[in-house]
Amino acid sequence: MTDVMTADSGIRVGVKQLAGNIGAEITGVDAARPLSDSVAAELREALLTHKVIFLRGQQLDYDQLVVFGRSFGDLTLGHPIYGGPEGRPLLREMDSKGEGTRANHWHADFTYMENPPAVAILHNTVCPPVGGDTIWANTAAAYQELSEGLRTLADGLRVVHSNDSDFTDATYTGDVRSSYLKNVFSAEHPAVRVHPETGERSLFVGGFARSVTGLGPQAGRDLLRVLVEHATKPEYTVRWKWQVGDLVLWDNRSTLHYAVHDYGDQHRRGERVTVAGTTTVGVDGRPGTVLRGNAEAFTAGSGSTM
């Protein structure tokens, strides 16, 4: 455990590393109160270092969650397809009794957009007594441990991401799937992304990755499978058992995550806001490009809390 006393507030922020390559628990922060610049900076540094950070015992309403999220940048709408609940446009409700909550497939959020969110912030309000954990993987650490040949190959790959993907096939059925695909988005991204803040290189793949530009369907899927299997080895992961009031932030630019669906018909609910991100950039400096769909309204939602 490391503690940092911030100069302007007297708050002692504790950072306890949870696994060898990813994850830290934060103490000493009340996310329901506006953050000072120094505390926000400490949290950002912990997030960039550990990729996902966890705060227990946080009680937040919608407005407080929005204020906290905006400490890290402009917020998007709750979802590019569904928007947000009435009166809470920046929120995505993750409710097992509603739509779109079974995310038991390795993915980063909204990578089918040209500029996926930089950071996701999820507040737990209901969790089952057993099950429903979430696992995160550090794709920057995974990239560093690729063999030299595979790393060189990955550096030059471009990957097409779409919401019409393996993630959708694995997590949606029937009318829910049809609703999710009423607007199809796709974008081409580098398979290795250069982080806009740290300069780290990370594998940018996951469940929305559909094909590899220039390769046939089978070859592309085989190569994507190899990269995802490598990135999600246990050595690069941390697993979190949720409690009511947990607040979790993850760097969507350098992680994948998987929501374990082992809780049957038990109720599970969380509320998420996402921080707007930038267009991806590859090792060669080429940016990601939009192929289909217009997500301007998704990022334009950052100016309103109501």
Catalytic residue numbers, as ranges:
107, 109, 257, 272
DSSP class of residue 289 equals E
- The alpha carbon torsion through 257, 262, 265, 266 (nearest 10 deg) reads -80
Q: Are residues 141 and 74 in contact, defined by beta-carbon separation less than 8 angstroms? A: no
**Which residues are CB-contacts of 172 (< 8 A; sequence separation ≥ 6)?**
100, 180
Separation CA 181–CA 106 (nearest Å): 19
Burial code (b: 16+ CB inside 10 Å, e: under 16) for 192-201 equals: bbbbeeeebb
Rounded to an integer, what distance in angstroms lies between the CA atom of residue 44 and that of residue 9? 17
Distance CA 201, CA 148 (A): 14
The answer to whether 298 touches 113, Cβ cutoff 8 Å, is yes
Three-class DSSP category at 211? strand
Question: Rounded to the nearest 5°, which phi and psi values hold at 47?
Answer: -65, -45
- Neighbouring residues of 133: CB distance < 8 A, sequence distance ≥ 6: 239, 240, 241, 242, 260, 262
Q: How far apart are CA 71 and CA 31, in angstroms?
A: 10
- Residue 61: how many other CB atoms lie within 10 Å: 11
